[in-house]
Amino acid sequence: MLGSILTFLIVLSILVLVHELGHFLMARRFGVWVEEFGFGIPPKVMGKKIGKTVYSLNLLPFGGFVKLYGESFEGEITDSKRSFMGKSILERLIILVSGVVMNFLLAVVAFAIVYSFSGIPKETKDVKLVEISQGSPAQVAGLVVGDVVKTVDKEKVESMDTFTKLVEAKKGKRITLGVERLIDGKKVDKKVQITPRASPPSNEGPLGVVITTTEIYYPPIYLRPFVGTFYGIKDSLYWGKNVISGFMGIFTDLFSGKVPQDLSGPVGIFAITAQAAKMGVLSVINFIGVLSINLAILNIIPFPALDGGRVLFIVIEKIMGRKVLPKVEAYIHTIGMIILLTLLLAITAHDIQRLVVAGSFSNFIESVLK
């Protein structure tokens, strides 16, 4: 449990620090004074001033912030050249969206690392056996993991659908599988007699095998960072699309009066992080990529207190031709933060309730992952 908590805090720290680092770097790039770089949500636990910026650690480790000079209260600005509000609309937009961009880049890097070490999946026409159940017809007939099924009763097999349909059509009847097996580095063709079960167990098929047409290949080491980055971008876009679809489903449920069932907060994230940690470092890195995409999409939503909400006010300023009163904007963002914290507490309470109902941490993890 201690290791899981440590992993969770490291993952959370990476996500938050990378996001806020985006705001920090772009603010510094445009000459904006960063008053505070905070990890966590206040109240402040401790802080240290380095140069003109205070670096703080706050009580609730579920977020972070970069406090920019003149971001909210224009009336208190004495040095407009170093204030956020004194910058152009384009510069302010870049500063605000830089956190989201950094999270997307973090996801790309995370996925690229995973692909560089675990290999690149490639679709083939080879239907390969990757798992064989104990006592199944496949095991009894002598099939082994790694066998590639080429034919079923002389009919060619080039896809999982074809294989499944041919076997389903012959349940209860003796058939001949033509398989290709690797023996001492050489491919050997074999014929295997087997009878698919007419009534297999609920968690198994007629033969008791798990098949795939995906093959893992490893590019030359010098090419892996580039190939990994290409697939990292593809994965980031894929997860981005899924996350957007998920958020749309959540908002649809909320507006229709339903309670979203697949929503998890810090407790649920901790549970998944703990499960990922058991599977190894690459699994944790992959999960960081997924979480980073979630954080990027969440932050760009045009809701007060989020980056997207602040962007919305700049868009309104552009349309109206004048700035929204800073104190009014600050008040709206404060209300938004209160709503977000209340929602966070509600989701956490829901997760705790699910944990109690599950009866154990392992059962809770299973319910979260469903």
Mean pLDDT, residues 158-185 taken together: 92
Pinpoint the residues of the chain covered by CATH 2.30.42.10.
121-217
Q: Rounded CA gap, 283 and 209, in Å?
A: 25
pLDDT at 62: 66
pLDDT at 369: 58
pLDDT in tens, 215-227: 888 889 899 989 9
Residue with tokens 């980031």: 236
More confident residue, 363 or 287: 287
The two tokens of residue 333 are: 């963002």
Strand partners, 60: 41
pLDDT at 368: 60
pLDDT at 262: 63
**Taken in order 307, 310, 314, 315, is the CA torsion positive or negative?**
positive
* 94 has a pLDDT exceeding 70: yes
Q: 360: pLDDT confidence band, cut at 50, 70 and 90?
A: low
Beta carbons of 284 and 273 less than 8 angstroms apart: yes
Weakest mean pLDDT among 3-7, 32-36, 353-357? 353-357
* 315 has a pLDDT exceeding 70: yes
pTM, 2 dp: 0.80
Q: Does domain 121-217 have CATH number 2.30.42.10?
A: yes
CA distances from 25 to 66, 91, 102, 281 (A): 10, 12, 10, 29
Q: Rounded CA gap, 202 and 211, in Å?
A: 17
Beta carbons of 330 and 70 less than 8 angstroms apart: no
* 213 has a pLDDT exceeding 60: yes
DSSP 205-248: -SS-EEEEEEEEE---GGGHHHHHHHHHHHHHHHHHHHHHHHHH
Q: What is the dihedral of CA 171, 177, 183, 186, to 10 degrees?
A: -150
Mean pLDDT, residues 347-369 taken together: 70
The two tokens of residue 301 are: 């939503």
